[in-house]
Amino acid sequence: MSAALALQTALIAALRADAPLTALLGGEAIHDGAPQGAAFPHVALADLASLDYSDSSGEGEEHFATLLVWSREGGRRQALEILGAMTAVLDGAALSLAGHALVNLAVERTEARRQSDAKTWRGLMRVRAVTEAA
């Protein structure tokens, strides 16, 4: 399994396992790309980019994941509450990756923006991770 796929699997599993986040979402609503017609609110892994981060000590990769929160209730507040719960789960987490070692994981950025339909809010979270071969 590639480091990117192992990271994706671990990110989604960690978010799905968090009871406070699940409660805010009203159930299991964390997706690898949201299915068409997904109920609001929900979280989707939107992008995952990986770069070579190898050095003299061995092989490594740097990953940037973008997670999106989609909300239509409570204005910006619901999106920010969900982003806060996600940050609590992921920032500095020591996730177990199949076949790879997670060196670090950090939430780099969050934001919440109203969409052009004036009723939907999109929260964005950018996560950076560094992995090494196990």
What pLDDT, on the 0 to 100 scale, is given for residue 134? 87
Structural domains of the chain ordered from first start: 3-133 (3.30.2000.30)
Contact 93, 14 (CB under 8 A): yes
What pLDDT, on the 0 to 100 scale, is given for residue 63? 98
pLDDT digit string, tens, across residues 61-105: 999 999 999 999 877 999 999 999 999 999 999 999 999 999 999
What pLDDT, on the 0 to 100 scale, is given for residue 53? 92
pLDDT digit string, tens, across residues 2-47: 999 999 999 999 999 999 999 999 998 999 987 889 999 999 999 9
C-alpha pair distances (Å), 108 with each of 8, 87, 105, 125: 17, 10, 9, 8
pTM of the model: 0.95
